Amino acid sequence: MLNREDNQYQEKLLKISRVSKTTKGGRTISFSVLAAVGDGEGKIGLGLGKANGVPDAIRKAVAAAKKNVVKVSLKNNTIPHEITGKWGATTLWMAPAYEGTGVIAGSASREILELVGVHDILTKIKGSRNKHNVAKATVEALKLLRTAQEIADLRGLEVKDILS
């Protein structure tokens, strides 16, 4: 059962960093990996793994990403409305785009949006362009997305009342 679940996600490594810690005996080298997993149909997860070797760090990052998978509301291969995500000093603005526009995004946000299954979107990053912060801001913004039907259900109204 676990194998079926593991195979449904695509994996992407967003960042691999070599980090060092200075101790009394000298420097200790280790690796930090930021990974994302997605199914291309509205699910995305982000994970950070740290280890003394790159393969172990990658394995840990992917496992952490699979534990943090969230469902995202999409509408016709784009997002339902404009949204702004913030993480640290990074502010990420996203807007829906017409079919055929493509994914206009940079840094880690492009890779995350492709894993989610978004084909048409406009984005703009302001502030820090650090990959870790951009990735977190993207996922935080995607978590806040709601379709008109979801908003209507929450408020106990009809969709036509929400859109008018």
Cβ atoms 64, 47 nearer than 8 A: yes
Q: What is the pTM of this model?
A: 0.88
| pLDDT reported for residue 2 | 42
Question: Using 50, 70 and 90 to split pLDDT, how confident is the model at 149?
Answer: confident
Q: How far apart are CA 121 and CA 114, in angstroms?
A: 10
The number of beta carbons lying within 10 Å of the beta carbon of residue 77 is: 13
Domains defined for the chain, CATH in brackets:
2-70 (3.30.160.20), 72-153 (3.30.230.10)
| pLDDT reported for residue 1 | 36
Q: How far apart are CA 123 and CA 154, in angstroms?
A: 28
If we measure between CA atoms, which residue out of 162, 26, 40 comes closest to residue 111?
Answer: 40
What order of strands is seen across the sheet that includes strand 121-127?
A: 83-87, 90-96, 121-127, 103-104
pLDDT tens digit sequence for 98-144: 999 999 998 899 999 999 999 999 999 999 999 999 999 999 999 99
If we measure between CA atoms, which residue out of 40, 60, 5, 6 comes closest to residue 112?
Answer: 40
| pLDDT reported for residue 160 | 80
